[in-house]
Amino acid sequence: MSSGELCFYGLGSFYLEYGGKRVDGNNWISKRAMYLLMYLALEWKRKVSVEELIDIFWPESEIEDGKTKLYNTIYLLRRSLAKDGVPKDIIESVTGCYTINKNYKIWTDWEYFEKEIDKQLKADEFEIEILKDLFILYRGDFFSNLKYEDWVDIYREELREYYLNLIEILTNKLFKEEKYRDTVNYLHKGIEYDPYRENFYLLYIKALIKLGRIAEAINSYKKCERILKEELDLLPGQELNNVYHRIKLSRDLTQQLQFNLENNKDLSSGAMICDFDIFEKIYELEIRQAKRLKKEFILMSVDFNGSKLPLAIEKAAEKMAAMLRCSDILSTGNDKIYLILHEMSLVNSGIVMQRFNQFCQELNLSKKPSIDITEIN
């Protein structure tokens, strides 16, 4: 007998390795012999009775007829192994049972896969390289060359769940480390395997946004929405729905700003004037950008109540906009002019105050309007 290592691979199509040789059974006369080996490999830690094997592989046969078929298949199995250079004594007969010979050192990729993922889940910190190696180890569904055998199903679903959990912890780790392209690539595979996992779509969309791939993010939401509705008669959850509406709002706002830029000839020499609802949305975007890029901007309001403006507030806004940069934003409402001074701090806002004083002089205001100026960072 030998104490060599006997390796079984079942994450994907089944094969075994022994002494540097790979055996997949593609040239075997009996496919049933290979299926029997797969079952014994799956149950290698215990002795499998003759009756159990007959129930699995020949359920319609009487016991004696089933035994004859089993013994013939065991003979073909051992013969096929020997022809492929694998010792036939790896299949051991023990008092009415069959098992994999424990004198060999036995390793299976599915048990290793489960054990390592469990270890990662219990660890304080996930190791990306280990997770990536486990991802590669999963070549496909468990025993993928067995399509219609019931005894495979429960193990297949369990290992698939492990695989999906692996993708979840790996992509969360990648996203936190700002590796957004890798996040998208791994989640794409996860969505292929399970198109009903909202948390996959949620992170996938967030990563696409980080990469600036807004159209793909919107299409991914619509795909999720369609699949959930058609297959499960459900709608996406609130968090995913909120993310979708935020990115759609951002895209619509960008298109609106682009339209304004293309249709307002005065913007090349001064601030952009927009409706107040657009101004509010730009303000929200500026806050998020300031936090993300660690930059500041100034929010300013000029209140003309009691200042006796000699012209309409809209005309005054146009005059003030002409004194500002084309990157600044301006709007009006309730006799006030509101301004966003892009990437400006209180430290360098003196030039704005000088232009504001010039503005008041040109309008010959008897009373200066009140000003509220705040630095946002």
Domain spans in the chain, listed from the N-terminal domain onward: 5-108, 109-248, 268-376
How far apart CA 241 and CA 245 sit, in angstroms, is 6
Distance CA 14, CA 109 (A): 10
Same fold: 5-108 with 109-248: no
pLDDT at res. 121 = 83
Per-residue confidence (pLDDT) for residue 251, from 0 to 100: 62
Secondary structure of the chain: what % helix, strand, coil (to 5)? 55, 15, 30
pTM for the model stands at: 0.67
Q: What is the pLDDT of residue 268?
A: 44
Check residue 74 and give its pLDDT: 96
- What pLDDT does residue 116 have? 93
A 10 A CB-CB count for 177 gives 11
Mean pLDDT per segment of 10 residues, for the chain of length 377 residues?
Answer: 78 94 92 95 96 95 94 96 93 94 95 93 85 96 90 93 95 94 95 91 91 86 87 82 71 54 48 86 81 81 84 88 83 90 77 80 82 86
- CATH number of the domain located at residue range(s) 5-108 in this protein: 1.10.10.10
Pairwise CA distance, residues 234 & 198, whole Å? 11
**Roughly what angle, to the nearest 10 degrees, separates helices 109-122 and 150-176?**
40
Q: How far apart are CA 55 and CA 57, in angstroms?
A: 6
- The answer to whether domain 268-376 has CATH 3.30.70.270 is yes
Closest CA to 324 of 355, 354, 368: 355
Dihedral (Cα; 354, 360, 366, 370), 10-degree rounding? -70
Long-range CB contacts (< 8 A, 24+ apart) of 245-251? 247/205, 247/209, 247/214, 247/217, 247/218, 248/218, 249/281, 250/214, 250/285, 251/214, 251/218
- pLDDT for 264 equals 46
Q: Which CATH superfamily is domain 109-248 in?
A: Tetratricopeptide repeat domain (1.25.40.10)
